[in-house]
Structure 1
Amino acid sequence: MSPYQETPIELEKDVVVLDFALPDLVTLDGVLGQQLGKSRHALGEDSREKLLKAALGLTKDEAEKVYRKAYVKAGQLTEGEVEIVLSEKKQLIRRNGILDYIEEDETIRAVGGLEELKKWLTQRSDAFTERAREYGLPQPKGMLILGVPGCGKSLIAKTTSRLWGLPLLRLDMGRVYDGSMVGRSEANLRNALKTAESISPAILFIDELDKAFAGGAGSGDSDGGTSSRIFGSFLTWMQEKTSPVFVMATANRVDRLPGEFLRKGRFDEIFFVDLPSSEEREAIFRIHLHKRRKDTSRFDLGELARTSDGFSGAEIEQAIVAAMYEAFAQEREFNQLDIIAAIKSTLPLSRTMVEQVTALRDWARQRASACLRFCG
């Protein structure tokens, strides 16, 4: 018996591999019931369901230990102890080594613009509940967000985790590739996906998908076909997965993405995130200035928005930070002129990467959802 499958090659044909599944909700309910028998506090159905789902992905022994830990620490088992159970899940992710458990403090309100995308996400905030299954709705598969670098694609992915109340797991493809042994990279991917499924419902976040799988369909000459096999394994998993794992991916260069990723049915929706309009730049300035100073009335947001034409959300934020450093070095409060000076000294990506931005917009007009603007 072993948690990993490492069968000697001479025994492969003679060995039968049996996978023992992690405990389901019924089994976990029995474990929780044993612990509740020691508690004098009644537990409502909603609180019970949250405690059970929080323990999905743990072994029976791990669930028993974490329920006991929560009971000893709080003196009771209620919905308030869900965080203690989730902390054990974070340890599970850390032990995996390929997935990162991302915690985000920002909410969807920190996103400026993108009203259609936020509406799409809000409509699906309860998509993984039993109520949605009873209604006959299928589980969402995933979404791909295309856009100019610095326009907040990663931020929308992270705030979705808070909106939906689901754990956010980032898949680092750089850690997946391991040339120390033939087949190790594929095993790393399988283990990562199995871990994500074991703690589902969850969001699997892949940042810069275009770099992670660029050329994956034709890498046989460069790496012995490892990238091709990983690419094929991931596509197969996306197509056949039944567990509630929502894949949220971002990309900057659509021309580098294999066509298999972009066909209908792979993702529920493909969104294009453009540079912000003047009104949206004004909202972005308001958000970032309010984070740093409660009183923003001394700033002319309209003038700042006009001056920063062609800037992304990340570039706007960095202009504010640069202005603050300039004023801090002179031991004074930063002002409107400091921000304008920082803006004028910055050459935005929209001017240094004109061809790439134009090509991305042309592609999105025909194939992605209505070109949406967003930066945050």
Structure 2
Amino acid sequence: MKEELNILIQAQYPLIYLVTSEEERAEQSISTIAQLLKPQRRVFVWTVTHGIVEYGQPRNVTQHNTVSPEAAIEWIIRHKEPGIFILKDLHPFIDAPATTRSLRDAIASFKGAHNIPKNIILMSPVQQVPIELEKEVVVLDFQLPDMAELNKVLTHHLDQNRGRRLTTEAREKLLRAALGLTKDEAEKVYRKAQVTTGRLTEDEVDIVLSEKKQLIRRNGILEYIEEDETIEAVGGLEELKKWLKQRSNAFTEKAREYGLPQPKGMLILGVPGCGKSLIAKTTSRLWGLPILRLDMGRVYDGSMVGRSEANLRNALKTAESISPTILFIDELDKSFAGSAGSGDSDGGTSSRIFGSFLTWMQEKKSPVFVMATANRVERLPGEFLRKGRFDEIFFVDLPTPEEREDIYNIHLTKRREDITRFDLGQLAKMSDGFSGAEIEQAIVAAMYEAFAQEREFTQLDIIAALKATLPLSRTMQEQVTALRDWARQRARPAAASVAEYQRMEF
């Protein structure tokens, strides 16, 4: 990004939009670029509070005659020397006709002054470009600090604390833990780890990660998921588990040296309550990767034009910055239902969000594995199901008799040490057509019944709870049948017995 910004400045691109919340770090990068140019260029910074002030001057300096955006842009036009002009947080004013017109006038004046190179850089955490400027502006995302930059932050922190030293392994762990944070955020979490324990070693990685989770949660779009269950807590689905276990080391350098590409993602279709979300969450522990949930409902923000698109970009950029990671999207069918055909009902926001996400999935280079679940395949836009978008599409059906026994064993063992009094075979037979979630709720209902009578729950209590339950497979029989028919030829079965049967058919 810095190299691209350097090229654009030297090529005298008149208007550059730099999307970032790290003002100080971005200003330092621009100042460094300006000093390396021949001849060197002065850098000026505009804010609505201080007007135009040369970079490096005291923060309390105020040029009152350039406080308004139009006055500032007019000052830039009349400036007789080469320069780089940073306009901070212009997005609240940029749609005003006078501001837009002033920027267009500035661009026109730059073209007529070849001997005085000037660049205007709009710096803001929110990308908002009026249609009048779309053909003139170049948009760049200022990337979060990489390992090298974070290493400088950590070294500076250690030097301030009596020159403490870390082993190479400890340093790498602390740096990886801070990936995805801004420079200021990294400085704060290192200070917190130091204050909490009085020292900074690899043992403080958990403190850094804990604070990092809080910082990521603040945006309300991405959420860290902490799952204590292992993949063995999922009953059945052996074919799906096998696929995941084979790829447990897929993001290592050893896999790259072997010639394997990085996995892109997987889509898990199936009946509600059959373990789709749980398998996604437990994959995090299996692979040893962090898992982030992307809440598409929170991406949409009608408070400001372009805000929804900015929310998605920021979320995806954050996921990439802490990669390798798993990006979990639950109920994808609800998130993007009808996006391709939403028309102008929301000003085209849904279509733009959908297009941006598809483009990112197709072009992403960073190791972000997308795990998505869906219940209603007919609601999914066809573009999602195109071959190559996901590595594999799995179908999770209602559990087989063997899988139901496995599910009973898992849930009963969680609640009682000795489960020999239960006939798992009979329970599996009695719960034909039940999902895993419905089986768990039957056990919970049986326990409540026995608890109210101050006794231990029994086989008969569970059977009574099963008989009192009308499973989803019966209340939504047509929908389940249609999903099965679609998946039979288009998706890979998650159950080992079904997968083996299909292989025999072919």
Q: TM-score range by the shorter chain?
A: over 0.9
- Alpha carbons of 1:155 and 1:271: their partners in 2 closer, same or farther (altered >3 Å)? same
Farther-moved stretch of structure 1 (83-92 vs 132-141): 132-141
- 1:30: Cα distance to partner? 3.4
Deviation, 1:76, is 4.6
Tell which structure's C-alpha radius of gyration is larger.
2
Say whether 1:43 aligns with 2:61. no
Amino acid of the residue matched to residue 150 of structure 2?
L
Name which of 210, 232, 236 aligns with 1:113: 236
Structure 2 CA distance for partners of 1:173 and 1:315, relative to 1, 3 Å: same
Cα gap change, 1:6 to 1:161, in 2 (>3 Å): farther
| Secondary structure of residue in 2 paired with 1:112 | coil
Query: What SS does the corresponding residue of 1:270 show, helix, strand or coil?
Result: strand
Aligned: 1:314 with 2:437: yes
State the distance in 2 between where 1:270 and 1:33 align.
Answer: 45
Are positions 1:196 and 2:196 aligned together? no
- TM-score (normalised: structure 2): 0.69
Displacement of 1:36 in angstroms is: 5.5
For 2:278, the equivalent position in structure 1 comes to 155
Give, in angstroms, the shift of residue 263 of structure 1. Answer: 0.3
Alignment check: 8 A CA contact 1:89 1:199 kept: no
CA distance 1:90–1:274, change in 2 (3 Å): same
Tell me the distance in 1 between the aligned counterparts of 2:403 and 2:310. 44
- CA distance, structure 2, for counterparts of residue 158 and residue 143 of structure 1: 13
Report the equivalent of 1:238: 361
Equivalent in 271, 277, 289 of residue 412 of structure 2: 289
Matches of 1:203 and 1:349, distance apart in 2: 30
1:3 and 2:8 aligned = no
Find the aligned partners of 1:58 and 1:129 in 2 and give their Cα distance: 23
Q: Give, in whole Å, the separation in 2 of the partners of 1:191 and 1:344.
A: 49
Report the CA distance between 1:16 and its aligned residue.
Answer: 3.3
2:305 and 2:181 map into 1 onto residues whose CA distance is: 30
| 1:23 lines up with 2:41 in the alignment | no
Query: For structure 1, which segment, 309-318 or 32-41, has the greater mean C-alpha deviation from structure 2 after superposition?
Result: 32-41
CA apart distance, 1:322: 0.7
In the alignment, the residues of structure 1 paired with residue 432 and residue 163 of structure 2 have an alpha-carbon distance, to the nearest angstrom, of 61
- The two structures have a TM-score, normalised by structure 1, of 0.92
2:257 counterpart (125, 134, 141): 134
2:183 is matched with 60
Q: Deviations over 1:173-221 (max 9, x none)?
A: 1111122222222222122212222222221111110111011001014
Residue deviations 1:64-109 (CA, integer Å, cap 9, x gap): 3323432443455444322111112212212111112111111111
Q: Which has the higher contact order (CA 8 A, sep 6+)?
A: 1
Are the structure 2 counterparts of residues 48 and 119 from structure 1 closer, same or farther at C-alpha, using a change threshold of 3 Å?
Answer: farther
Distance change (3 Å), C-alpha of 1:350 and 1:160: same
**Residue-by-residue CA offset, 1:220-260 (whole Å, 9 max, x unaligned):** 14222221111111111111112221111000011110000
For residue 254 of structure 1, what is the amino acid of its counterpart?
A: V
- 1:327 partnered with 2:433: no
Counterpart of 1:25, as a letter, is M
Asked if structure 1 preserves the Cα contact closer than 8 Å seen for 2:217 and 2:223, the reply is yes
Equivalent residue letter for 1:175: R
Q: CA deviation at 1:363?
A: 1.4
| Distance in 2 between residues matched to 1:111 and 1:295, nearest whole Å | 20
Q: Residue type matched to 1:287 in 2?
A: I
* Deviation by residue 1:108-149 (Cα, 9 ceiling, x = unmatched): 110111122112112222222233333332221111000000
**2: distance between equivalents of 1:231 and 1:323?**
44
Q: Which residue in the other structure is 1:210 paired with?
A: 333
Between 294-303 and 52-61, report the one with greater CA deviation: 52-61
**Is 128-137 or 257-266 further displaced after alignment?**
128-137
Give, as a single letter, the amino acid of the residue that structure 2 aligns with 1:144. Answer: L
Aligned residue in 2 for 1:81: 204
The RMSD of aligned alpha carbons is 2.2
Whether contact under 8 Å (2:239, 2:494) holds in the other structure is no
Deviates more, 1:343-352 or 1:86-95: 86-95
Count of residues in Structure 1 that have an aligned counterpart in Structure 2 = 373
Indicate the larger mover: 364-373 or 142-151: 364-373
> Corresponding residue for 2:76?
none
Deviates more, 1:17-26 or 1:336-345: 17-26
The answer to whether 1:272 aligns with 2:395 is yes
Identical counterparts, % of pairs: 80
1:266 Cα deviation after fit: 0.6
Of 180-189 and 229-238, the range deviating more from structure 2: 180-189
Structure 2 counterpart SS, 1:96: coil
> Residue 93 of structure 1: SS of its match in structure 2?
helix
Distance 2:301 2:429 in 1: 48
Cα contact 1:319–1:339 (8 A) shared by 2: yes
Q: What code does the residue aligned with 2:121 have? A: V
In 2, distance between residues paired with 1:176 and 1:186?
Answer: 8
Q: Distance in 2 between matches of 1:302 and 1:148?
A: 23
- How far the C-alpha of 1:42 sits from its partner, in A, is 5.2
Mapped partners of 2:476, 2:426: distance in 1: 25
